[in-house]
Homo-oligomer: A and B are copies of this chain.
Amino acid sequence: MANYRKVSVEDGARVELHDKLNLTGAEVSINAMPAGASVPFVHAHKQNEEIYGILEGKGKVIIDDESVEIKAGDWLRVAPVAKRQFFAAPDCGIKYICIQVKENSLEGFSMTDGVM
């Protein structure tokens, strides 16, 4: 079996990559919302850290009681326990990726895990 798997993601609605790529260390989703839309619920996590990267557009995320402005190029780490909800701006959609990983699961990385 090849040591890799590849998928092509079309622009559009939410895509979850865990099952498509047979991921074992993360779930990665690609999310898009039009202007004025929001994720319809607040959520937190039991043990997963989330890393968000804003690919296009702008909006805000409410984290616990704080409203954080976000725009293309911004990256955030959100602790498992934090209550979060994402919103597109009233006048501009937003596209972002969300990476779910188990908190404190990473051991070595880059120079300490790589093999040349």
Contact = CB atoms under 8 A, between A and B. Distances in A.
B75 A28 contact: yes
Contact of A43 (B2, B25, B49, B114): B114
A23 B7 contact: no
B115 A46 contact: yes
14 contacts: A2-B63, A3-B64, A4-B78, A6-B70, A10-B73, A11-B73, A21-B76, A27-B106, A28-B75, A43-B115, A45-B115, A46-B115, A100-B106, A101-B105
Interface of A: 2-11, 16-18, 20-28, 41-49, 51, 53, 55, 63-64, 66, 68, 70-71, 73-79, 81-82, 97, 99-110, 113-116
